[in-house]
Amino acid sequence: MNYQNDQPTTRHEYQIMENRVSIILPAKDESEALKILLPRLRKLYPEGQIIVVNDGSSDDTVVVCRANGVEVVSHSYSMGNGAAIKSGARAASGDIFVFMDADGQHDPNNIRHLLEKIHEGFDMVVGARDAASQASLGRGLANFIYNKFAGFIVNHRVADLTSGYRAVRANKFREFLHLYPNGFSYPTTSTMAFFRSGYSVAYISIKAGKRTGNSHIRIVKDGIRFLLILFKVGTLYSPLKIFFPLSAMSFAMGISHYLYTYMTIGRFTNMSALLLMTSVLIFLIGLVSEQITMLLYQRTDGK
């Protein structure tokens, strides 16, 4: 990544910092990357609150953080990326949170662009990775599917559902802390929560660099988890959009099977009854899930 564009904080950025921005970085064994990243952040935002959440690291992450004068929140053992994000949000004092990875993929110079969008009135601004920033063809294809599916569910363009580089208004982000998982899918959950609650979401295009060190993602374990994200996207936003098509499909199969058996053997079979009953049960599950989802997203301030 090119570091030559780093410039000391400008007057405009000092005006932004008056809104009390907290920069939060979840980190697990990222000391090598932090040795490069933290001085850059301090150069750009000398007065800003920078919090590194040490998620059970076994290297000298804490030493590097203290040497660079940033705040450290430590987990006694690894609790997950989402848990680190929640710990950082609880410890932060800013009105705006900026979340970024500690592995060197995210260019600190893009923080100003995220904040500029926030100051245009958006509640969340996400750094959307371009095609060249995808770690592999498989991951790029998976992200493409996530984005298209999420866009279909929320009826809005979703440029990058899983990007961890984002700026959010602190009071709105904290509303959904109880919903965020402890694992890697907090970006998905937070994005869908904001859409569900009618908060505005914007995107800026970014180029993500190559990470320093080894990835903590495991292909098989996390591949299964990412498949579940598609179902989670629907159930977080509107469960009926998932359950109703399944119910309709089962109902159509039941009717079709009944017509076939009636015309061939003149009977209403158990299979037809099972398919029709299944369609009713799926619909009722979706209806109840929809009501539960509405309760989860009720505004805590009573508005």
3-state secondary structure the chain: CCCCCCCCCCHHHHHHHCCCEEEEEEECCCHHHHHHHHHHHHHHCCCCEEEEEEECCCCCHHHHHHHCCCEEEEECCCCCHHHHHHHHHHHCCCCEEEECCCCCCCCHHHHHHHHHHHCCCCCEEEEEECHHHCCCHHHHHHHHHHHHHHHHHHCCCCCCCCCCCEEEEHHHHHCCCCCCCCCCCHHHHHHHHHHHCCCCEEEEEECCCCCCCCCCCCHHHHHHHHHHHHHHHHHHHCCHHHHHHHHHHHHHHHHHHHHHHHHHHCCCCHHHHHHHHHHHHHHHHHHHHHHHHHHHCCCCCCC
Residue identified by tokens 């990835």 is 215
Tens digit of each residue's pLDDT (9 = 90 or more) over 247-260: 999 999 999 999 99
- Dihedrals φ, ψ of 218, to 5°? -110, 130
Tens digit of each residue's pLDDT (9 = 90 or more) over 184-238: 778 988 998 898 888 999 999 998 766 565 555 555 555 566 667 667 777 777 8
pLDDT of residue 132: 65
pLDDT of residue 32: 92
21, containing H or E segment: strand 21-27
**Cα–Cα distance, 157 to 291 (Å, whole number):** 25
Tell me the two tokens of residue 30. 């990222």
**Cα–Cα distance, 214 to 40 (Å, whole number):** 22
pLDDT of residue 88: 96
**Cα–Cα distance, 94 to 225 (Å, whole number):** 32
pLDDT of residue 178: 87
pTM exceeds cut of 0.75: yes
**Cα–Cα distance, 66 to 43 (Å, whole number):** 16
Span 46-65, average pLDDT? 92
pLDDT of residue 2: 45
Nearest Cα to Cα of residue 125 among 194, 180, 208, 171: 194
